[in-house]
Copies of this chain bind each other. A is one copy, B any other.
Amino acid sequence: ADAAAGKVKAKKCRNCHGIDGVAKIPIAPHIAGESEVYLQVQLKAFRTGKRKHEIMSVIAKDLSDADIADLAAWYSSIKFTIEMPTD
């Protein structure tokens, strides 16, 4: 899989997920740093209809296996660190 190619392909994801994987709208998930396995499983589920969403089902329909692998490689390559809320 080619993360750099995935970054270019991420142009079609940008409006909701951002190129950086930080969601731009509340109903979209952050996908920065998600594992390649999880991203591939979800994109393939949207493509086959196992998982449904009015936007993702449409977008995933045209994705090839290579597109999915590259997109998963790109978004999983983004590192993240967390900060637990101080009680």
Compute how far the CA of A84 lies from the CA of B27 in the bound complex, rounded to whole angstroms: 23
Q: What separation, in Å, do the CA atoms of A27 and B34 have in the docked complex?
A: 10
A8 CB to closest chain B CB, in angstroms? Answer: 12
Size bracket of the A interface:
20 to 34
CA distance A87 to B3 in the complex (A): 10
On whether the beta carbons of B41 and A82 are closer than 8 Å, the reply is no
Name A35's contact: one of B26, B34, B36, B84 (CB within 8 Å). Answer: B26
Contacts of A51 in B (CB 8 A): 51
**Minimal beta-carbon separation of A4 from chain B (angstroms):** 7
CB–CB B82/A32 < 8 A: yes
- B80 and A84 contacting across the interface, CB-CB below 8 Å: no
